[in-house]
């Protein structure tokens, strides 16, 4: 066993883990952070996406020991004082989920997309989300939600155009 110290959703933890323990299993089984889910065992689906020091990673592809000394944010750490993160709100308002299984990872990845590029085109959003699979194929509304969160949806673009004319 190896001792790790990690900050998860703003709380410091110090735990013994086996060197082979995956970050996603540490989060779910030792910390009870079941908002982060496992959708495959091949690093393909992105359902397990979390932020490690502010950038997205597939937590089934990271060992818990690799998070030692680092800062992890899960879907459960996004809301502040009961207020949804703007990306969570956009997913809700755009009906960007069906079964919801992909949603935690999709939201974490979508935030990373906007961190990298605050004003992406639709194509850039689609490329940014290509590592996250939605088995319900709800991609259309997912892209709309990211556009809304970025302020680049056609409605907000039209409003901005109107304000300028
Ligand atoms: S569970 Fe991590 S990519 Fe599918
Ligand atoms: S909403 Fe069902 S997998 Fe995406």
Same fold, 2-77 and 86-164: no
Calculate how far, in angstroms, residue 164's C-alpha sits from the geometric centre of ligand 1: 44
Tell me what pLDDT residue 158 has.
45
129 touches ligand 1 (CB under 6 Å): no
* No. of helices (H) and no. of strands (E), the chain: 6, 5
Residue 114, pLDDT > 90, answer: yes
Helix (H), strand (E), coil (C) string for 72-124: EECHHHCCECCECCHHHHHHHHCCCCCCCCCHHHHHHHHHHHHHHCCCCCHHH
Per the prediction, the chain carries an average pLDDT of 93
Ligand 2 site residues, Cβ closer than 6 angstroms: 97-102, 134-136, 138
> In this structure, which CATH number among 3.10.20.740, 3.20.20.70, 1.10.150.120, 3.40.50.10490 belongs to the domain 86-164?
1.10.150.120
Calculate how far, in angstroms, residue 84's C-alpha sits from the geometric centre of ligand 1: 24
Spatial separation of the C-alpha atoms in residues 111 and 118, rounded to whole Å: 9
Ligand lying closest to the C-alpha of residue 139:
2
Residue 155, pLDDT > 70, answer: no
Encode 86-119: b = buried (16+ Cβ within 10 Å), e = exposed. Answer: ebbebbeebebbeeebbbbbbbbbbbbbbeeeee
**Atom of ligand 2 at shortest distance to CA of 97?**
1
**Atom of ligand 2 at shortest distance to CA of 106?**
4
Tell me what pLDDT residue 48 has.
98
**DSSP code for 41:** S
Query: For the chain, how many residues are written?
Result: 165
Nearest-CA residue for ligand 1 atom 3 is 43
Spatial separation of the C-alpha atoms in residues 65 and 74, rounded to whole Å: 17
pLDDT in tens, 19-37: 999 999 999 999 999 999 9
What sign for the dihedral angle of Cα 121, 127, 132, 137?
Answer: positive
Ligand lying closest to the C-alpha of residue 133:
2
Which class in CATH covers the domain with range 2-77? alpha beta
pLDDT in tens, 123-144: 999 999 999 999 999 899 999 9
Q: Is the pTM of this model over 0.85?
A: yes
Domain boundaries, the chain: 2-77, 86-164
Average pLDDT of the residues in 97-118: 97
Confidence of residue 41 (pLDDT cuts 50, 70, 90): confident
For the chain, the first-to-last Cα distance in angstroms comes to: 65
58 touches ligand 1 (CB under 6 Å): yes
160 touches ligand 1 (CB under 6 Å): no
């Amino acid at each position: 066993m190896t001792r790790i110290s990690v900050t998860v959703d703003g709380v410091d933890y110090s735990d013994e883990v086996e060197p082979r323990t995956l970050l996603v299993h540490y989060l779910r089984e030792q910390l009870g952070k079941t908002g982060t889910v496992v959708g495959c065992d091949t690093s393909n689906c992105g359902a397990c996406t979390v932020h490690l020091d502010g950038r997205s990673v597939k937590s089934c592809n990271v060992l818990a020991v690799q998070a030692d000394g680092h800062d992890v944010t899960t879907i459960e750490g996004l809301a502040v004082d009961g207020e949804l993160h703007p990306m969570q709100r956009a997913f809700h308002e755009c009906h960007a989920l069906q079964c919801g299984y992909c949603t935690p990872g999709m939201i974490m990845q979508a935030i990373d997309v906007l961190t990298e590029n605050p004003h992406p085109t639709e194509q850039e959003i689609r490329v940014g989300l290509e590592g996250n699979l939605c088995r319900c194929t709800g991609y259309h509304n997912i892209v709309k939600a990211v556009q809304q969160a970025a302020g680049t949806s056609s409605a907000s673009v039209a409003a901005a155009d109107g304000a300028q004319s």
